[in-house]
Amino acid sequence: MTNTIPVPAAGATPGGGGPGLPTPHPSSGIVLAGLATLATALFYDAPLGVALPAFLVLLFGGALLVNPPVGGMGRWATAAITLVAVLALLVDAVTPLSLLLAIPAIAACLLHLTGRWPAGLDGRVRSVGAMLVLGPWRLGRDSLASLEWGVNHLRRSAIVAAAARWVLPLGLGLIFCLLFITANPVLGLWVDRLPLAFLGDIDAGRIVFWMMALALLWPFVKVAGLAGHVPASALAGRDGGPDDPVLALLLSPATVVRALALFNALFALQSAMDVYYLWTGHDLPEGVTYAAYAHQGTYPLVLTALLAALFVLVALERPPVTGTVRRLIVAWIAQNILLVLSAMLRLAAYVAAYSLTGLRLAAFLWMALVAVGLGLILTRMTLGRSNRWLVGANLAATVALLYGAAWTNIPALIANYNVDHCREAAGGGPDLDWTYLGRLGPQAIPALDRYITLPLHSRADAGDVSGANVEALRRSLAQRFLTRHADWRSWTVRDQGLRDYLAAHPDGIDHEGQ
């Protein structure tokens, strides 16, 4: 076991796969998919036993099919003895210790048989460690190399190239469809009527397990990819720059036009439904409530708008941006702004039904920022500014919003809104959650006092004889505030205003007005 790792030369292009990157071999993917599927069938949601050593034997054999062994009988004998020794441990009992011995031993045998066994103990330990720890992370890089290799070869086919230009529109369009179905219960109702019952049998956990198995098994299947380091020249042109062949195909002008046309059509459907049901107040289909329509779509629609904005920024950075592309982008951004405004209207309807909270107020502000950001994208296009200008403008808008929020007494704002719009005060809306007002802190005391003046029989706490009522909560908040802020070092303008209020209303009653 004295063979050293052969490192390809920096300029080597084995098989034409690019400098220093081996040409992808279809057998590697077939073996990997087969082993991952077998591992999922054997080990997902099942205890470990004799199936594990049997699988490791198949893994070892599959790895040797893809990575041809080198050397004579001595090397084979050493590997065979090692394998029998560690697999016997697993047959006896699968324990953390037996796994700790078996997995590195199998990795060492593969490196040894494929001629990638360095001289010296430290080099061998590093090689095994790199294979087991770093190897799974190579799957993404090697997959990208395979994709680039495939693009370079398949671009010669007009049919394949035309099909590839639909990958991004259809892929991202599917994501938008899923977001709209999640956000729109009417669309969800339509989908429920489709014959898609088989989707309920899909086990997401099994899919995740299979994908993890792909990564964990990859270093065993592709031992050759672990030989030495990849030279810097091998990564040239793979940073997503203008010459990247993958991006050149996926984000070609024709692809961008197709994508924008498809996305505009999808968003037009959602926008039309929002205008019909949300803005004009038409009756929803049977089985769909306004509360569900309002709340279900609030956050997915904002996420949709953010994803759309990201695509627009990427598309604008890849010239040429033709007049058709600009018009489609303007139409799409306008629809996204309407989408965000609809999301804000949904949230407003939900707040009217279930009261205002700090998180819902933060969501309002976040949506406003998203709408401003979309408007700034239009401004960037009109003025011919760069993405750096756009980032700066969005940062300025964010700072301005946060600065304004810092000057706002948010606990008092939320408390006053909830008291003004509760059922007891307004005759409609939700019952006041006065315990939540207590969690807002002492700044909610003036709003609680206004609630206390309401007729007792109409209040939500009227039937509570345990003493856990609004008056007791108010006294507790006032006492804690006055005790905590007795020290002059804790003085602030806002707290002084509350202190003056408590001096005039010690028990929640306006004595000056009596």
| pLDDT tens-digit map of 109-160 | 888 888 777 777 777 788 888 788 877 777 766 666 665 555 555 555 566 5
pLDDT value of residue 230: 39
The span from the CA of 416 to the CA of 410, in Å, is 10
The span from the CA of 30 to the CA of 32, in Å, is 5
Q: Where are the domains of the chain?
A: 1-158+201-227, 251-406, 410-504
Query: Who wins on pLDDT, 2 or 257?
Result: 257
Q: What is the average pLDDT value for the chain, to the nearest integer?
A: 78
> What average pLDDT does range 75-85 have in this prediction?
88
20-28 contact pairs (CB < 8 A, 24+) = 20/230, 20/231, 20/233, 20/234, 21/145, 21/149, 21/230, 21/234, 22/224, 22/225, 23/149, 24/142, 24/145, 24/146, 24/149, 24/150, 25/66, 27/65, 27/66, 28/66, 28/221, 28/222
Q: Which of 424, 417, 442, 308 is nearest to 358 (CA)?
A: 417
| Global confidence as pTM | 0.60
131, 226 Cβ separation under 8 angstroms = yes
Task: State what percent of residues in the chain have pLDDT above 70.
Answer: 77
pLDDT value of residue 223: 74
pLDDT value of residue 131: 81
Read off the amino acid at residue 267: F
The span from the CA of 365 to the CA of 21, in Å, is 48
pLDDT of 90 higher than 60:
yes
pLDDT tens-digit readout, 412-425 = 999 999 999 888 88
Read off the amino acid at residue 323: G
Q: Which of 458, 483, 474, 468 is nearest to 508 (CA)?
A: 474
pLDDT value of residue 167: 76
319-327 contact pairs (CB < 8 A, 24+) = 320/253, 322/253, 322/257, 324/257, 325/253, 325/256, 325/257, 325/260, 326/381
